[in-house]
Every structure is written in C-alpha cells, then in structure tokens.
Chain A
Amino acid sequence: MSDRPHAESAAVLARTPLHALHVARGARMVPFAGYEMPVQYAAGVLKEHLHTRAAAGLFDVSHMGQIVVRAKSGRTSDAALALERLVPVDVLGLAAGRQRYAVFTNDDGGILDDLMIAHRGDHLLLVVNAACKDVDEAHLNAHLSDTCDVERLDRALIALQGPKAEAVLARLAPGCADMTFMDVRPLDILGASCIVTRSGYTGEDGFEISIPEDRAPEIAAALLDDAAVMPIGLGARDSLRLEAGLCLYGADLDQTTTPVEAGLSWAIQNVRRRGGAREGGFPGARIILDQIDSGTARCRVGLLAEGRAPVRAGAQIFASDAATEPIGTVTSGGFGPTADRPVAMGYVPPALAAPGTTVLAEVRGKRLPMAVAPLPFVEPKFKRGNRRLP
C-alpha cells in the first residue's frame, strides 16, 4: 500500500510561531509552500471538517503573506489607485474598515495570485498565498514603489471558523460581535494588538486574526481552551473550502486561467468594466473585459459525482463514453464530509456548464458520471451586514 506521491521534497522548511503548539497537540506535520504545517491532528480530516461546521475550528495560516501598502503621499486613496494598476477590482471604493477579494492579473489576463485587500485607514493590508508571497511582494515593489511603500508584516495569522466562532472570540474580544462579513477592525486580545477580519475560507462565519508573532501561541491556546474549538489541519481546510466552492490558487486558478473563466467576474466591479469611470487599466484588461462581454471557451463549474468514488484534481472530463478527446479537467476534488458525497470543481465548455448536465470524469480508466452542480455545495453561513450594497 502506498500514498500517491506528494509534490514537495524535504528542503529546509520554515516554521510558524505555532509550530510547537501543533506538535504538542498531535499534529501530523507536512511540507507545504516551504513551511512545516499541520495536515491533520489526532481527530483526523473527517472529524475536523465536521467539527468546524458544527462548532468552531482554529487554523494556523501564518504561512500566508501579510503585506502593507502605504502611499508615500499619506493618502490611502493614492495607494488604492496605485494598486488598481495590478488588480481588476474597485480598490478606491473600498471603505475604511472593509475588506475585498481580488486577483493579481498578468498581461494574458491570467491570475498571478488571489488575495484579500483590507482598508486599514492609513494603509492597505494585503493577505496573499504562501507559495506566491515573495513573487507578489516583488510584483508590488516593481509596479508601485514610485508612489507607495510595500512592507511585509511578520505576524502570525490564525483563522477561527464555524457557527461558534463569534461566541468564542467575543469572550476575549467583545468588539468582534458587531462586525459583519468582510469587516476589518483592530482589536485587543489578551493585551495584544490584533487585526481582525470577519472572513475565512470555509463557507462558515468566522474570523481571521493577525497577531504579533510572540503573542500568537498564547492567544491560540486561549481560543483552544474553549471546549467548542478544535485545531484543524490543512486537510480539512481544503475539504471545507472545496465544499464552499472557493478556489485554491495553483489548482483552480493559475497564470493561464482568467478571472472570467474562473467565475470570479463578481470580483470585477462595474467601475473597472467597460463604461466604468476607471475602466481597465490593469494587466490583461482588454482580454478580461472582452470575456465579460463575449464569454469564454471554458468556465469553472461544480461537479457532483453520482457514485461514491472521489474524483480528484487532474481527472479528465469527457462529454460521453465514446469521446476520445477530453473537454475539460477536474481542478479540485475529493470527498465532501458535509455533502456526504464526492464533490469537485473543474473547467468545461459553456455548452456543458448548465447545472444538471451530465459529464464523465475518468478515474483509474473508468468514466464516472458527474452532474454539473451550482456552487457552493453547502450553504454559506456568513454574517452579512445590511447597511450597504456591495
């Protein structure tokens, strides 16, 4: 018996400030994006996944990059306008205390990375993927250094996710309770100055908490002291985000995939589209804006297996049993513990993208029927505000 090969070799791995806590709690540590990270704890991926949806899970995401962009003029609007040169997103319209999803694009309209942008009053705070953070920082410096200072923040980052996340965090930081989805706020936790956003990567309500590195173990331990909270590894983080229909950079998104193909047009606000006040002006704008108007040759869809066999990333998709040429590829797939069935995402031509369409995914030489399904696979539980329109 053997696991299929893992991509990463054992180089010198970095450790997050919570490394000792993971080991003490029985984590199985694996290499991930240059870090030694917990893939699961003793409970295992299945129970960690279900616990997060039922109560609360704590995730160490300190490997992700936290980057401050600050305008040399002192005006955050100047930083926002500068950043709009790299993302097809309305950054200028982002209010102080709010966060927004974005992608860095390349000249072909492909995605260099996906990220969060938070307006922190006197600066913008970006959270980027671990595997991309060095390249992202160089990209920001190369394009923004005329008007902005770009600085990596060496802070820990933890996510607290699940229906009990608010009650758990509110005991240490009561101010979190009146935050709504995508709010960002400085909060004091056990005397440490933290930056809290009401967001996450699970489809659940919850928070992401940026903490000074030296205070992170104590704050993580305090949150884990709550009986509702279980530590969650990367394994369940992946199955949770897949059920939530959220993209993983490097799997569902890459430099050859445009945000329109990826179903991320919602992240491109009207002001950056054709006819908008700040139309285009980002790498690949012509291609991306053309696709918004005229469509794409492929698009990301949800796929529900009809049987019990998980269909995983890399499986080729066919239109029929007889077809010799694949029409698409599964980019993320596995077993969805909450969906209680195999779930996947992949790319298919628009003609086959309507929910209910049956396609076939090839697994170990067999073509298994899958139904195109709306995303997400589980209902999002975000605590949405009603005070403003998106």
Chain B
Amino acid sequence: MIKFTEEHEWLTLEGDVATVGITEHASTQLGDLVFVELPVVGATLKKGDGAAVVESVKVASDVFAPLDGEVVEINVAVARDPALVNSDPLGKGWLYRMRLANAADFDGLLDEAAYKALVD
C-alpha cells in the first residue's frame, strides 16, 4: 500500500520501515534535479523536520519527515544521479527509509485517491 502527504511525499511500509520519496507531481513541478541531499543513517526525525533537500537549477526545496522515526537507509544512487528522481520518482528515485516510531501513524496519511484530489 502506498500513502501520501500534503507536502508531496509518498511512503510505502514494510513491517515498521517506511520508504520515502517525492511524488511524480512534485518531481514534475521541480523540474530536472541537479542535487539531492539525504539525511544521515541513524538520524532521528520528528514529523515536519527537514529530512532531505532536492535542488533544481533554480531552487532548493526541503523534503520534510512525514512521520516520527529513525533513518535506517539512504538511496546513494540518487545522491550520485539526482535525475533518477525525475525519471522514476516512485521507484529508483526513492530517497530514504525510516523505522517509524509508531507504525500505526502510517494509516493516518492520505491514500492515493485523496492525494490525487489534492493535486488535480
């Protein structure tokens, strides 16, 4: 199951570990990315903290932590090749994985229909 936030992130959940990326809508709006700054593994994030930064030629945008948790893995491939976020935002362009402090919080995020309604 995939969930979304109003800040244009997507999450999938396996056990209590969520994979986080930015949505196709966000990647289109941002345009070609030239730099991605990822959190460090082990970082503790509170919902709303700046977790990553994605930068286009023109602008830097924060990617906020969607829920509380601890970063357990980062996608080094997007740090090397930020264009992956544009070409495959929901796949190879994932940003990081976090162990959720409370996995039940996942259910409170937007489902696909609610997110689509938000951006259409």
Contact = CB atoms under 8 A, between A and B. Distances in A.
Contact of A45 (B9, B37, B54, B57): B57
Given A45-B32, A308-B35, A310-B34, A337 B61 contact: no
Contacts of B60: 4, 310, 312
A310 B57 CA distance: 8
Contacts, number: 66
A326 interface: no
A40 interface: yes
Most chain B CB atoms below 10 A, which of A1, A46, A235, A236: A1
Contacts of B106: none
B9 A1 contact: yes
A2 B62 contact: yes
Interface in A69-91: none
Contact of B7 (A1, A45, A335, A364): A1
A235 B56 CA distance: 10
Contact of B26 (A1, A39, A238, A308): A1
A238 B58 contact: yes
A364 B53 contact: yes
Contact of B35 (A2, A3, A44, A309): A309
Interface residues of A, number: 24
A47 interface: yes
A206 to B, nearest CB: 20
A308 to B, nearest CB: 5
B55 interface: yes
B117 interface: no
B71 interface: no
A26 to B, nearest CB: 12
B57 A334 contact: yes
B64 A1 contact: yes
A310 to B, nearest CB: 5
A239 B57 contact: yes
B59 interface: yes
Interface string A321-344: 000000000000011010000100
Given A335-B34, A364-B53, A1 B58 contact: no
Given A1-B8, A1-B9, A1-B22, A44 B31 contact: yes
A236 B58 CA distance: 8
Interface in A36-94: 39-40, 44-47, 49
A364 B50 CA distance: 11
B58 to A, nearest CB: 5
A45 B35 contact: no
Contacts of B63: 1
Most chain A CB atoms below 10 A, which of B35, B54, B58, B59: B58
Nearest to B9: A1
Given A1-B26, A235-B57, A40 B31 contact: yes
Contacts of B31: 40, 44-46, 235
Interface string B25-44: 01000011011010000000
A152 to B, nearest CB: 31
A3 B59 contact: yes
13 contacts: A1-B8, A1-B22, A3-B61, A39-B58, A44-B32, A45-B58, A49-B57, A239-B58, A308-B34, A309-B37, A309-B55, A337-B34, A337-B57
